[in-house]
Amino acid sequence: MQTKGPDNVYFFGTCLVDLFYPQAGMAGMELLKREGIRVVFPQGQSCCGQPAYNSGYRDEALKVARAQVALFTEDWPIVVPSGSCSGMIKTHYPDLFKGEPDEAQAVAVAGRTYELTQFLVHILNVKLEDKGEPVRITWHASCHAQREMGVLDEPKALLRQLANVELVELKREKECCGFGGTFAVRHPEISAAMVEDKVADIEGTGAKAVVSGDCGCLMNINGALDAGRKPVKGKHIAEFLMERIHGSH
């Protein structure tokens, strides 16, 4: 692992961040830039292709995936503020592009893809200073971050650096929140049962905010928190970290 960071990185925002949580994307890029890295955001980017891939439409997923691969022409790391999208690129692109003319490029892209907190901890070894007021939060570990990208302690390691943040763990931190992409609309009642349990778990911690690295999870959990008129808010970790180091919360 390099301790000095690279000079340039690509940032792949993801479509959910693009449409629903652009501030999380900006925060993610800011976290990288303040380490002295030149962050590049190819404007041609759209979606990693996972929705189609998981729905059984590989050709369509490939079409979209290949358009993304073509954007990352330089040999720079690709940082993604999402466990599921980085997981799609890293663990599924090699299989998706098998036998394709651009297989080698896709495999190379997959090999240089990082989930954001992974990159911040292992490559940049960032040090964070907490300027915010004391607050209790809890962390929701997204399934793909944990199980596809192997991101286990990195986000919590970052959160633990914040002196005024009390991190209380969920009873079932690793249990799926019930989003599952199209699952949430295909089996809404089961998804609802799962997110209700997650919300109850969150409430049980007494936390003011639930932090997560994945916007699919956040949309799901926030939607349920909001519908239940709960005072707890869900935040993307990038946004949360930026707020803490600027003392804006």
Partner 1 sequence: MAPTDVNFGRASRTALKDQQLRANFRRAMDGLMSKRAVQFADPKEWHAMRALGASVRVRALSKLPELLEQLEANCTRNGITVHWASTTDEANAIVLKIMQDVNAKLAVKGKSMVSEEMHLNAFLEKHGIESLEADLGEYIVQLDHEMPSHIIMPAIHKNTKQIAHLFREKIKEAEYTEDVAQLTDLARRVLRKKFMNADVGISGVNAAVAETGTLCLVENEGNGRMVTTVPSVHIAVMGLEKVVEKLEDVPPVLSLLTRSATAQPITTYVNMITSPRKEGEKDGPREIHLVILDNGRSKIYADEELRHTLRCIRCGACMNHCPVYTRVGGHAFEAPYPGPIGSILVPQMEGLGKRGELPHACTMCNACVEICPVKIPIVEIMGRLRQEAVHPGDAVKDAGACASMAEALIWKGWAVMNSSPTTYRFATTIAAKLGNAAPASLPLLKEWTSVRSKPRFAGRTLHDLAREKGIPDA
CB closer to partner 1, 93 vs 179: 179
What separation in angstroms does the CA of 159 have from each of 69, 150, 224? 32, 18, 24
CB closer to partner 1, 163 vs 200: 200
CB closer to partner 1, 45 vs 86: 45
CB of 182 to partner 1, least distance (A): 8
CB of 91 to partner 1, least distance (A): 10
CB of 8 to partner 1, least distance (A): 9
User: What is the Cα–Cα distance from 9 to 7, expressed in whole angstroms?
Assistant: 7
Task: Transcribe 160-219 into DSSP letters.
Answer: HT-TTEEE---TTTTS--S-TTTHHHHSHHHHHHHHHHHHHHHHHHT-SEEEES-HHHHH
Give the distance, in angstroms, between the CA of residue 92 and the centroid of all CA atoms in the same chain: 16
Q: Are 221 and 212 a contacting pair, CB within 8 Å? A: yes
CB closer to partner 1, 38 vs 136: 38
Q: Would you state the structure tokens that stand for residue 112, as one six-digit string?
A: 């240089």
CB closer to partner 1, 44 vs 134: 44
CB of 141 to partner 1, least distance (A): 11
Q: Are 97 and 117 a contacting pair, CB within 8 Å? A: no
CB of 228 to partner 1, least distance (A): 8
User: What is the Cα–Cα distance from 78 to 84, expressed in whole angstroms?
Assistant: 14
